[in-house]
Structure 1
Amino acid sequence: MSPDRSPRSRRPTRSPKRFLDRLVRDTARTLTPPTRPEAFLHAVCATLGPQLDRPVRLKFVGFPPGLDVSGITLALDEEYIVVVEERAPAEHKFVIAGHEIGHIHYQTLDVHHPAGTPAAARRLLARADEDVPWDQVVAMATRSPATAAARAEWEAEECGLRLAAKFRRVVGPGAAAGRTTQDTLTGRLSSSLGNIGGP
């Protein structure tokens, strides 16, 4: 995904660490533990919305086999829609959602839809799984091959990994959480950078 060049966009300078620390802290204040991972991520998006120019809606959906993506964000005029693979392990959902939130935070989404919610997005939100035109949905969120896309993916992935690093603390000791290692970081970043220019 490449930078949003709309006039109201202004690139944040806050580091991923400071951004995620504050976002998680503000979110945790709104919840009573224990909290399920999906509920926490919904709360994260609810906390983020008022800090932006429009609300952030989170949807967990089963992506079709062979699609080769596990998360997308649709930048609509009235809201952001973050879509995360519902069958991913709980900690990985934190990585996926955090990655997409990173793109929103750094304003590195290159597709904007000013004329309401496209039909493909409406089908996706309605959970009409068999009727979702996934090729159109992915095209709505396709990353740009621009040079800036590489930096955008690194920044977004750092947000995803930093959010996942907080998994154990924010959803309780009973969750299956592992440490985020350097191998995990390298593998995830390599995968993301390898997909630049595609879905």
Structure 2
Amino acid sequence: MSKRTPKRFLDQLLRDTARTLRPPTDPKAVLNAVCATLSPRLDRPVRLKFVQFPTDMGLSGVTLAKDDEYIVVVEDTAPDQHKFVIAGHELGHCYFQTLGVHYPTGLSAAARRLLARDDDDIPWDKVVAMATRSADATDPEAEWEAEQCGLRLAAKFHKLVGPQAETGHPTQETLADRLSSSLGNIGGL
């Protein structure tokens, strides 16, 4: 495992990513840029995919580690700021090489076959459903590191996305979003 901390990892990653962005920027574009910046630092490229997860799954993010790439899959219906938490958590697992925490045996043969199709022909809901977590594979330290990455990325949301990214100051909309989130209404006011 790397000696770097989640804070150092995310701070450097976001500094390097910010140089490639032209605000105001769409949340998905920011997350794709973060993946593009991270890819050369890992053993394979990182690709981001937004899909609707099966409702009974209880997950909102998963990383599919193929031999030639990581595919970070994020729940498309999650609020934008929560997408940053999800993606950051999964990217933390990629960076710290702790993907085996949830999936010690890796991808199933069936999932690998589905992922071998052209991207437009992949039944993402089925692939995500196959990526079930192992109940006995837990590592609190690895989860803490990954969660810190997700929370740190989400903390930068308003600096990277929308009108505040351009001006550096909160707008009425970003203040309303913050109030809504802090009150527990993540879907908006």
Task: Give the structure-2-normalised TM-score.
Answer: 0.77
- 1:88 paired to 2:82: no
Aligned-pair identity in percent equals 54
Instruction: Give the letter for the 1:81 counterpart.
Output: I
SS in 1 for 2:21: coil
CA distance in structure 2 between the partners assigned to 1:131 and 1:47 by the alignment: 27
Aligned to 2:99: 109
Paired residue for 2:167?
none
Q: Are positions 1:38 and 2:28 aligned together? A: yes
Q: 1:127 to 1:71 in 2, by over 3 A?
A: farther
Equivalent in 54, 62, 70 of residue 60 of structure 2: 70
Q: Tell me the residue number matched to 1:132.
A: 126
Higher relative contact order (CA 8 A, sep 6+): 1
Say which of 2, 6, 10 aligns to 1:20.
10
Q: CA 1:169–1:145 in structure 2 vs 1: closer, same or farther (change >3 Å)?
A: same
**CA displacement, residues 140-172 of structure 1 (integer Å, 9 cap, x when unaligned):** xx346245x221111101100000000010113
In terms of Rg, which structure is larger? 2
CA contact (8 A) 1:61 1:127 kept: no
CA RMSD in angstroms comes to: 2.9
Question: What is the rounded CA distance, in whole Å, between the counterparts of 1:122 and 1:88 in structure 2?
Answer: 27
1:120 CA displacement: 3.1
Q: Is the 8 A contact 2:53 2:125 kept in 1?
A: no
| Counterparts of 1:89 and 1:169, CA distance in 2 | 17
- In structure 1, give the amino acid aligned to 2:115: A
Unaligned runs of 5+ in 1: 1-10, 185-199
Aligned length in residues: 168
Could you tell which deviates more after superposition, 71-80 or 121-130? 121-130
Instruction: Give the 3-state SS of the residue equivalent to 2:17 in structure 1.
Output: helix
CA contact (8 A) 2:54 2:125 kept: no
> 1:122 Cα deviation (Å)?
4.4
| Structure 1 or 2: more helix by fraction | 2
The answer to whether the 8 A contact 1:95-1:164 is kept is yes
Q: Does residue 145 in structure 1 map to residue 139 in structure 2? A: no
* Aligned residue in 2 for 1:29: 19
Distance 1:19 1:130, change over 3 A: closer
TM-score scaled by length of structure 1: 0.74
* Shift in alpha-carbon separation, 1:124–1:134, aligned structure 2, 3 A: farther
Compared with structure 1, are the counterparts of its residues 71 and 125 closer, same or farther at alpha carbon in structure 2 (3 Å cutoff)? farther
Is there any run of 5+ residues in structure 2 with no aligned partner, and where?
165-170, 185-189
CA distance 1:131–1:102, change in 2 (3 Å)? closer
Partner of 1:8: none
C-alpha distance 61-146 of structure 1, shift in aligned 2 (>3 A) = closer
Matching residue within 27, 50, 65 for 2:40:
50
The whole-number CA distance in structure 2 between the counterparts of 1:121 and 1:100 is 18
